[in-house]
Structure 1
Amino acid sequence: MKLYDPHLTPILRWRRAGAAWLLSAAALMPSAASAQYIMEFAQTYAAPTSNFISNTFLNQEALINATRPDAPRAAAKAQPALAPPQVERSAAELAQAAPAAQRARLEKIYLQLMPGYQQLERKLGWPAEDVAGAVVALLAGNYMAMTGTEPSDEAVSAAGHQLRASAQLQGLLARLNATDRRRLYEQCAMLGTFMALAHRTSQQQPANVVANLRHAARENLRAVLGPAADGLRFSAQGMQVR
């Protein structure tokens, strides 16, 4: 089962919205027609996270442990460097989830989401190109789509600081080469933003469409957190996995 939009126009417009984590800064919103199209794929396709995300960067236990109050803390230091941007490659890899005839269109959509995510980084007070923040964006976007709720900016910002300070997470990231850290950053940012946007467009959709989107988001979270995905929560202290 794969998530793609065979009709979505690649032109997305910016506008200011309310307090939701994705949309509280200058944010991505589709046109009314595109909003309808973005949910049409959810009636047929689920959205497994990319093979690179699910197989390369984290094991489930490490990420879950990083959310615990007693998790070992990393010493304050510069984060490992990333390779130069490769957004075209990252978007193309994510687009492999679509049938071949639709990949170019989906790749364009992912490319257009990256500037919005980088504005979000600045809004939340995260360092630029912070891998921990992008991981949080992936989790938060799918959490929104799975639960139909929107964690506050404060909760998402705290979760980014929480993962950045995790000794276990930083140890895992340090073992990736600079190119894979770049791929991880860009793909998590793109897919998390995409799922948050899909959640936003679902609010006026029929119940069966919303149910399919929630199933897709749950499968994404389970690829990263395993069975504990259903216990993911956001609060002023950051993320918790119950």
Structure 2
Amino acid sequence: MGIVITIRNVSEIEQLTEEFSKKKTFSENMRAQNHEFLNKLNTIYGLLMLKEYDRAIEIVSSEVSERQEIISFLISSVKDPLIAACLLGKVNRSMELQVRLDIDPESRLDSVSDNAKSNHFVPIIGNVIENAMEAARAKNGNKGMVNVSFTDLGNEIIFDIEDNGAGIPMAMEDVIFLDGYTTKNGGNHGIGLAIVKNAIGLLNGQIYVDTSELGGARFTIVIPLESWTKKDV
């Protein structure tokens, strides 16, 4: 009986983990949108059956207004379409998790890079926001809160993501970025923040972990604009 050993180089492994992350994010966003849509549709159907027509119209109007507001904000404030789409997906995901996700209305991102760099950046914010929402929900249920703000004023792109979850002890701030580390159950966990750390390195950026004013964790992602606009990443 022989043993077959498959050897992959580091860049190929990085590509595979990044591809997995993007597919996972897309799948979760689609599931969240479908779940939320079905919930609203069932509620509207029930109201119509009960002949509560005014209440049904009120829900439809509120839903359209809410969606249009966030879409209009992202279109005007985030020039990179992949990043805007990621944030919209996380808004939908927050509704599924019943966690409040607030994006600072003063936030703005005028910088647009090529698809390669955006593809590195989307898993960063996608994974960190997802973890923040899950942490907030785990501790506070439907009172979970996540705040997101971002800017590219000056020489850097800066994203702040904070939650009211359990927080991260100072002794664990480096450990959480190790490949395979997780506090969750299931075989697909434990690579999210490792992917984040790797992608940030590819963009010559930094990620800082602190305590949020909300009581949980705060992640600050910093990417130099010089790396964002260069063509060699």
TM > 0.5 fold call: no
Q: Which has the higher strand share?
A: 2
Larger Rg, first or second structure (1 or 2): 2
